[in-house]
Amino acid sequence: MADYDYDLFTIGAGSGGVRASRIAASHGARVAVAEEYRVGGTCVIRGCVPKKMLVYGSMFAEELEHASSYGWTIEGKSFDWPSLRDFVNNDVDRLEGLYGKTLEGHEVEVFRERATITGPHSVKLANGREVTAKVILVATGARPAMPDFPGVEHCITSNEMFHLEEQPNCLMVVGGGYIAMEFAGIFQALGSEVTVVNRTDRILRGYDEQIVERMLHIASGRGINFRMHSLIQRIDKDEDGCLVVDFGETNPVKVDQVLIAVGRAPNTEGLGLESAGVDLGKHGEIKVDEYNKTSCDSIYAVGDVTDRVQLTPVAIREGHAFADTVFGGKPRTVDYRAIPSAVFSQPPLAGVGMTEGEARSTYGNIKVYSSDFRPMKNIFSSHPERGLYKMIVDDTSEKILGIHMVGPESAEILQAAAVAVKAGLTKQAFDDTVAIHPSMAEELVLLK
């Protein structure tokens, strides 16, 4: 490998790229990373980490509503969006520094500039310098996708939500995925009037329909307005700065901000992948095999830039497996079965394994155990919100095929339960486990 400047050159310092680079370096590889924006990637800088912090901030608003029931009297309470925004962004700065120190600690050279591929073993930096590498890893992630209609330039994406000068009094969220639902919940809880616009009648595709329906019922009860089967025709900006949204109907809707959250597109444009013969899918995603290799033997890809599961923990696993395979002499692949995931809506929902619909299509005869209950914490609230837990079981083997839930702390509870699904445990294993009482999690071992 001495014929090359580096053993590994990684393009993109997000979760997958950083993990791959760090592990490769620990195996003795000479590694360099190029990042044109900020070290840490989408998750750390403008995704799941700062968004979860905003969720915590918005949840405090709900706690304040219950304060009198808890026995507390709070006078003069008010909310200041810039204070929350700045605290979150300051912590993002801290995390970026930690990611940089991690790379430095493993002697990974970092180029804080754009890099493009010029051949199977060559990369050109924005400053004009060209370097060579035995192996190139593309870990450039994805970006918010934007629809095409007149006035779309007046809209913002999830990237800009963390830097709003002012909290919008009236926010329109376009999309039906987890990003849309999470931001809708955050700003509704903080006091904004929120409308969710979706082109179909399905929200959160891929999650259990009954669980999603319960979440939608609760979200509507909290004040989020849903407009299904709606498509924006155009958006105009008024003299007062407000946006006028035209759906092709009689009365357009006036709002302060329009957030577009209709999905994400892989960052492959302008990377020079064609110069190395790297095959792309119809949406621009990089095609890879089970070992993360592209159609070019010296170029690999991990994370959201590929055609697999767009989740940060998955990108980290892929990056680690890549480094062990290519530089550690330990070929490893990632198992994409039974990957748990959550939506930090309000209330949050989470799931692992097959939904009820998927299980019926695959297995035919299944059993569905459920618990429809009001969490003790919700007794303090004036809203009669109920949680719902479901366990999907194969009728023949009693093997658990999936667990799905909506209610407070669903993601925290599901993480442990996901181990049982991944391990192939049966319903009897849950029945044999003594409950922790009183808790919400105990419902999982009491399902009927």
Q: Mind listing the pLDDT tens digit for each residue in 80-114?
A: 999 999 999 999 999 999 999 999 999 999 999 99
Residues with active-site annotation: 437
**Average pLDDT over the chain, rounded to an integer:** 96
Helical (H) or strand (E) element with 11: strand 6-11
Question: DSSP character for 285?
Answer: P
How far, in Å, CA of 299 to CA of 295, rounded? 8
Read off the pLDDT of residues 42-80 as tens digits, 9 standing for 90 and up.
999 999 999 999 999 999 998 898 899 999 999 999 999
How far, in Å, CA of 119 to CA of 136, rounded? 10
Overall pTM surpassing 0.85 (yes/no): yes
Question: Is there a binding annotation on residue 124?
Answer: no
How far, in Å, CA of 406 to CA of 390, rounded? 9
What are the backbone angles phi and psi of residue 298, rounded to the nearest 5°?
A: -100, 0
Question: Is there a binding annotation on residue 28?
Answer: no
Can you name the residues that pair with 293 across neighbouring β-strands?
300
pLDDT surpassing 90 at residue 364: yes
Amino acid letter, 330 = K
Q: Are 65 and 381 in contact (CB under 8 A)?
A: yes
Question: Is there a binding annotation on residue 270?
Answer: no
Any residues with CB less than 8 A from the CB of 284 and at least 6 apart, and which?
265, 266, 268, 269
Read off the pLDDT of residues 346-356 as tens digits, 9 standing for 90 and up.
999 999 999 99
Question: Is there a binding annotation on residue 178?
Answer: yes
Which band of pLDDT confidence, cut at 50, 70 and 90, is reported for residue 220? very high
How far, in Å, CA of 218 to CA of 212, rounded? 10
Which band of pLDDT confidence, cut at 50, 70 and 90, is reported for residue 381? confident
Q: Taking residues 195-215, what's their average pLDDT?
A: 96
Going through 217-303 in order, the beta strands assigned E by DSSP cover: 225-227, 234-237, 243-246, 253-255, 257-260, 264-266, 299-301
What are the backbone angles phi and psi of residue 397, rounded to the nearest 5°?
A: -95, -15
At the topology level, CATH places domain 6-143+265-327 in FAD/NAD(P)-binding domain (3.50.50)
Identify the three-state secondary structure at position 407. Answer: coil
Alpha carbon distances (Å) from 89 to 92, 113, 392: 5, 22, 40
Question: Is there a binding annotation on residue 119?
Answer: no
Q: Taking residues 158-179, what's their average pLDDT?
A: 97
pLDDT surpassing 60 at residue 184: yes
Which band of pLDDT confidence, cut at 50, 70 and 90, is reported for residue 384? confident
Q: Are 368 and 388 in contact (CB under 8 A)?
A: no
Instruction: Please indicate whether the domains covering 6-143+265-327 and 152-262 agree at the CATH topology level.
Output: yes
Question: Is there a binding annotation on residue 172?
Answer: no
Alpha carbon distances (Å) from 379 to 23, 272, 373, 383, 408: 48, 58, 11, 8, 12
Which band of pLDDT confidence, cut at 50, 70 and 90, is reported for residue 158? very high
At the topology level, CATH places domain 347-445 in Enolase-like; domain 1 (3.30.390)
pLDDT surpassing 80 at residue 250: no
pLDDT surpassing 90 at residue 251: no
Question: Is there a binding annotation on residue 299?
Answer: no
| % of the chain with per-residue pLDDT over 90 | 94
Q: CA-CA-CA-CA torsion for 348, 353, 355, 356, nearest 10 degrees?
A: -120
Q: Taking residues 308-312, what's their average pLDDT?
A: 94
Measured in whole angstroms, how far is the alpha carbon of residue 145 from the centre of its chain?
Answer: 14
Kindly give the interhelix angle for 15-26 and 81-105, rounded to the nearest 10 degrees. Answer: 20
CA 9, 15, 16 angle in degrees (round to 5)? 50
Residue linked to tokens 């958006």: 235
Residue linked to tokens 């550690």: 328
If we measure between CA atoms, which residue out of 278, 280, 275, 327 comes closest to residue 299? 278
How far, in Å, CA of 373 to CA of 439, rounded? 12
Question: Is there a binding annotation on residue 74?
Answer: no
Question: Is there a binding annotation on residue 282?
Answer: no
For residue 237, give both structure tokens. Answer: 């900006």
pLDDT for the residue 314 = 97
Side-chain-side CA neighbours of 64 within 13 Å: the count stands at 15
Q: Taking residues 257-272, what's their average pLDDT?
A: 97
Sequence ranges of the domains in the chain: 6-143+265-327, 152-262, 347-445
How far, in Å, CA of 41 to CA of 45, rounded? 6
Q: Are 34 and 129 in contact (CB under 8 A)?
A: no
Domain 152-262: homologous superfamily in CATH: FAD/NAD(P)-binding domain (3.50.50.60)
What are the backbone angles phi and psi of residue 29, rounded to the nearest 5°?
A: -75, 150
How far, in Å, CA of 235 to CA of 199, rounded? 16
pLDDT for the residue 2 = 63
Question: Is there a binding annotation on residue 176?
Answer: yes
Identify the three-state secondary structure at position 70. Answer: helix
Read off the pLDDT of residues 19-40 as tens digits, 9 standing for 90 and up.
999 999 999 999 999 999 999 9
Identify the three-state secondary structure at position 114. Answer: coil
Question: Is there a binding annotation on residue 52?
Answer: yes
